[in-house]
Amino acid sequence: MKRINSYILKKFFHIFTLALAAFVGLYLLVDFFEKVDDLLEKRVGLEVYFSYFAFKIPLILVQVCPLAMLMGVFMTIGGLSRTSELTAFWAGGVSLLRIAAPLLGTAGLISLAVLLISENLVPLSVKATNEIWATQVQGREAVVFKLDRLWLREGDRILKVRLADPEAGELQGLSVFRFSPDFQLMERLEAPRASFGQNGWSAETAQRFRFSAETGQMLENQKLVEATLDLAKKPEDFRLARNDSEELNFGQLRRLAARLAAEGYNPRRLIVDMHNRLAAPVATFLMAFIGIPFALQKGRGGRIALGIAVTLVIGFGYHILHAVSMALGYAGLLPPILAAWSVNLLFLLLGLWLLLREQAG
């Protein structure tokens, strides 16, 4: 059995590594052509090119690994069937599940590796690429933020945002500090929630405090209703500057969501992303699980010819369904855990059904 395992895994890793390298290369090529105009316009040095795309590799590996796994398993099983080796295994009393066992075991280990990379390397690489793109390419001011709040500068004012939702055009926990030329606090405005409309930013309620620039004493405490906020920034500015959830791992997202919920904010988006941190790596294993029965569905002559096409159809079908499910979770139409895991469950059931049907046949 060890020889059989070694033989099958040798075939698999040959295809898997080639597919992984090809998908990473294609991803980098497409990303380069999408961004080359901005890079050339800003006339950045070659070191920025290499740094930006090199830091993206961990994220790319995590994203394309399921596709490479699907192609590796599909082509391995398909190749064994095409050369009648699979039939010889069955004739020798080796079951399909026994043949699939080393592939599924390897897929489980690779899924674990993907999880470790996603938790430890991807947040650091995403943060690095975001900083390179924002500061060295787009020339924006560096944004200072802690894990649970965002700080931005706008003229003589500094903005602190507890939670930004650029897609909904909403800011939660907004504080605006206005300073004198010698950096003495003159005014502070606190708004629990601000929304962006045709007339700019507004808040249903807000509190304004005015201070003496000389003594620092409070001169006025004014409560505002239906207040219009004089902010030049638009929702897309917060999209570029916010602490991207991809820069946070599972533990950081969980702590941040719990802290925001305790303070009365709605951390729904963070909770969806938190569950997705665990659900996404499982896709690598599921692609192996579903690739085995799919490889046995096609006729012997067309299996290899259709390998790449089937891989792309299944892989992109998974990503499209997962994106829709995540969007429903962000919108509050699905519970966060279901938004992250529902497509995995669907593909698991589909793979089980195909395997049982193949065994019964």
Report yes or no on 274 lying in a domain: yes
User: What domain range includes position 236?
Assistant: 148-242
> In the structure encoding, which two tokens stand for residue 248, read together?
């946070």
**Percent of the chain that is helix, strand, coil (3-state, to 5):** 65, 20, 20
Whether residue 120 is found in the same domain as residue 182: no
CB 296 within 8 A of CB 77: yes
Whether residue 271 is found in the same domain as residue 124: yes
Q: Does residue 69 have a pLDDT over 90? A: yes
Report yes or no on 289 lying in a domain: yes
Mean pLDDT for the stretch of residues 176-195: 86
Report yes or no on 81 lying in a domain: yes
Rounded to 5 degrees, what angle do the CA atoms 277, 280, 281 make?
95
Whether residue 113 is found in the same domain as residue 227: no
Domain count, the chain: 2
Q: Does residue 129 have a pLDDT over 80? A: yes
Whether residue 67 is found in the same domain as residue 12: yes
What single-letter amino acid sits at 250? Answer: F
Domain boundary among the residues 186, 208, 242 is at 242
CA atoms within 13 A on the CB side of 196: 18
Structure confidence at residue 260 (pLDDT): 76
Angle between helices 46-82 and 2-42 (to 10 degrees): 150
Whether residue 12 is found in the same domain as residue 122: yes
Whether residue 219 is found in the same domain as residue 102: no
The better pLDDT of the pair 94, 80 is held by 80
Mean pLDDT for the stretch of residues 295-299: 64
Mean pLDDT for the stretch of residues 278-292: 91
> In the structure encoding, which two tokens stand for residue 361, read together?
């046949």
Predicted structure pTM score: 0.74
213 forms beta bridges with none
Closest CA to 4 of 64, 78, 90: 90
Domain boundary among the residues 207, 242, 277 is at 242
Whether residue 305 is found in the same domain as residue 188: no
Whether residue 228 is found in the same domain as residue 312: no
Residue 101 CA to its chain's centroid (Å): 30
Give 14's pLDDT tier (boundaries 50, 70, 90): very high
> In the structure encoding, which two tokens stand for residue 76, read together?
């391995």
Report yes or no on 51 lying in a domain: yes
Give 144's pLDDT tier (boundaries 50, 70, 90): very low
Whether residue 153 is found in the same domain as residue 122: no
Give 4's pLDDT tier (boundaries 50, 70, 90): confident
> In the structure encoding, which two tokens stand for residue 285, read together?
């294993």
> In the structure encoding, which two tokens stand for residue 130, read together?
């975001």
Structure confidence at residue 145 (pLDDT): 46
Least confident of 63-67, 254-258, 278-282, 346-350: 254-258
Report yes or no on 250 lying in a domain: no
Whether residue 107 is found in the same domain as residue 156: no
Whether residue 125 is found in the same domain as residue 22: yes
Q: How many CB atoms lie within 10 A of CB 12?
A: 22
Residues 145 and 158: their CA atoms lie apart, in Å, by 12
> In the structure encoding, which two tokens stand for residue 204, read together?
């249903």
Report yes or no on 252 lying in a domain: no
pLDDT tens, 189-224? 898 888 888 888 888 888 889 888 777 788 888 888
Angle between helices 96-120 and 336-360 (to 10 degrees): 160
Residue with tokens 């975001």, as numbered in its chain? 130
| Strand-strand pairing, 200-211 and 149-154 | unpaired
Structure confidence at residue 148 (pLDDT): 53
Q: Does residue 157 have a pLDDT over 80? A: yes
Report yes or no on 256 lying in a domain: no
Whether residue 81 is found in the same domain as residue 177: no
Q: Is 120 exposed, middle or buried (0-12, 13-18, 19+ CB in 10 A)?
A: exposed
Closest CA to 246 of 96, 128, 98: 128
Q: What percent of the chain has pLDDT over 90?
A: 28
Residues 211 and 230: their CA atoms lie apart, in Å, by 19
Q: Is 46 exposed, middle or buried (0-12, 13-18, 19+ CB in 10 A)?
A: exposed
Residues 296 and 257: their CA atoms lie apart, in Å, by 44
Report yes or no on 222 lying in a domain: yes
Q: Does residue 170 have a pLDDT over 50? A: yes
The better pLDDT of the pair 308, 113 is held by 113
Structure confidence at residue 27 (pLDDT): 92
Give 361's pLDDT tier (boundaries 50, 70, 90): low
Closest CA to 225 of 207, 248, 211: 207
Residues 25 and 92: their CA atoms lie apart, in Å, by 41
Give 61's pLDDT tier (boundaries 50, 70, 90): very high
